[in-house]
């Protein structure tokens, strides 16, 4: 793993990987959305609103997966001082926050016709809202860091502590009474019909690849900013 | 209650969010890499 700690080696891999992830992700996402919108049947209880699942669920998983990535990168940053760990954690924050926001908004829109309300303060919705605010706090903390592109130790600690919320979101529908349905997809299997499950997995794959491309783009921008800052410092000293 | 406006609104919000992310990330990457390359070439 430490072989990839070198930013020059990382950039040699990231440059061709960014467009590959982006275009493959975009094709899969568009295909899944068209499939989900026009070629899936109407659900018996939820009607056509079930089609919102193809944007809501990938956004929820990536919002939670993003913070898991921040926590892992923060541990790597603090324990092994991996030079790219802080950069990657910071690069994940804005896409993660955006996907968490998309999850909250599309969930609210889905709630109105199915539950009869835009919002309820139950465990799942509230813990997801807390995740969105954690992202905002992390972005503010990492932007306050003096080094461009890198992340401060305070932000890294915040990233690790905030990860406590991820299992809370996951278990919230079991621990508390919730309007939100129980988990339909678990490690043991799925209760979703294959007519919805297959396009849902295509959507998750597509959104995940796009997420990866976005993180690479933001890491490349951060590394370039760090190179600029280092060069300016050398020019000022000479 | 018609479901179409809710479905359309969800996809529009996801599309707008994703498009904003892609454009802002791409522009900041290109701008930073171009500035870094320009500084590197400077004597």
B10 to A112: CB separation less than 8 angstroms, yes or no: no
Contact B3, A46 (CB under 8 A): no
Per-residue pLDDT in tens (0 to 9) along chain A, 238 residues: 566 678 888 999 999 999 999 999 999 999 999 999 999 999 888 889 999 999 999 999 999 999 999 999 999 999 998 889 999 999 999 999 999 999 999 999 999 999 999 999 999 999 999 999 999 999 999 988 755 555 688 999 999 999 999 999 999 988 988 888 887 777 777 778 889 999 999 999 999 999 999 999 999 999 999 999 888 888 888 7
CB count within 10 Å of CB A183 equals 13
- Cα distances (Å, whole numbers) of residue A228 to A39, A142, B25: 50, 19, 18
How far apart (Å, rounded) are the C-alpha atoms in residues A218 and A98? 14
User: In chain A, what residues touch B13 (CB-CB under 8 Å)?
Assistant: 102, 105-106, 109
Total CB pairs under 8 A between chain A and B: 90
Q: What is the ipTM of this complex?
A: 0.93
Inter-chain residue contact A217 with B11, CB threshold 8 Å: no
**Cβ–Cβ gap B3/A49 under 8 Å:** yes
Domain ranges of chain A: 21-39+48-179+194-237
Q: Do A217 and B29 touch (CB under 8 A)?
A: yes
DSSP state letters, A112-180:
HHHHSSS----HHHHHHHHHHHHHHHHHHHHHT-SSSSS--HHHHHHHHHHTTHHHHHHHHHHHS--SS
Domain A21-39+48-179+194-237, architecture per CATH? Up-down Bundle (1.20)
Residue A180 and residue A24 in contact, taking contact as beta carbons nearer than 8 Å: no
Cα-to-chain-centroid distance, residue A49: 24
Percent of chain A surpassing pLDDT 90: 72
pLDDT in tens, A151-188: 688 999 999 999 999 999 999 988 988 888 887 777 77
Chain B residues whose CB is inside 8 A of the A59 CB are: 14
Cβ contact, residue pair A33, B7, below 8 Å = no
Question: Which residues of chain A make contact with B23, given a CB cutoff of 8 A?
Answer: none
* Beta-carbon contacts of residue A225 (< 8 Å; ≥ 6 apart): A148, A149, B32, B36
* In contact, A59 and A126? CB cutoff 8 Å: no
Asked if A111 and A118 count as a contact pair (C-beta separation under 8 A), the reply is: yes
Chain A segment 10-49 residues within 8 A of B by beta carbon are 22, 29, 33, 37, 47-49
Rounded to two decimals, the pTM is 0.93
Q: Which of B10, B22, B35 sits opposite A52 (nearest CB)?
A: B10
Torsion of CA A125, A138, A168, A130, to 10 degrees: -30
Nearest CA in chain A to B36: A228
Residue B4 touches partner A, C-beta closer than 8 Å: yes
Contact A40, A51 (CB under 8 A): yes
| B36 contacts on A by Cβ (under 8 Å) | 224-225, 227-228, 231
B23 → chain A, closest CA residue: A214
pLDDT tens digits for chain B (43 residues)?
889 999 999 999 999 999 999 999 999 999 999 999 888 777 6
């Amino acid at each position: 793993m430490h072989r990839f700690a070198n930013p020059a080696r990382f950039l040699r891999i990231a440059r061709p990987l960014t467009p590959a992830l982006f275009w493959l992700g975009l094709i899969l996402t568009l295909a899944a959305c068209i499939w989900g919108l026009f070629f899936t049947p109407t659900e018996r209880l939820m009607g056509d609103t079930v089609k919102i699942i193809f944007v809501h669920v990938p956004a929820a998983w990536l919002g939670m997966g993003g913070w898991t990535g921040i926590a892992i990168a923060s541990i790597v940053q603090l324990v092994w001082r991996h030079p790219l760990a802080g950069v990657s954690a910071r690069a994940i924050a804005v896409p993660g926050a955006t996907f968490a926001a998309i999850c909250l908004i599309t969930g609210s829109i889905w709630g109105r016709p199915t539950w009869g309300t835009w919002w309820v303060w139950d465990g799942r919705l509230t813990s997801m809202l807390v995740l969105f605010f954690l992202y905002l706090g992390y972005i503010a903390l990492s932007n306050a860091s003096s080094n461009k592109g890198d992340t401060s130790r305070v932000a890294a600690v915040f990233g690790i502590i905030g990860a406590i919320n991820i299992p809370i979101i996951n278990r919230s529908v079991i621990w508390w009474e919730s309007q939100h349905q129980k988990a339909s997809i678990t490690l043991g299997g799925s209760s979703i019909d294959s007519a919805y499950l297959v396009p849902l997995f295509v959507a998750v794959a597509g959104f995940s690849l796009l997420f990866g491309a976005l993180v690479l783009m933001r890491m490349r921008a951060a590394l370039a900013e760090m190179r600029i800052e280092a060069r300016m410092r050398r020019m000022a000293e000479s | 209650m018609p479901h179409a406006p809710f479905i359309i609104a969800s996809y529009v919000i996801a599309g707008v969010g994703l498009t904003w992310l892609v454009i802002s990330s791409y522009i900041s990457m290109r701008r930073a890499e171009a500035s870094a390359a320009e500084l590197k070439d400077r004597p």
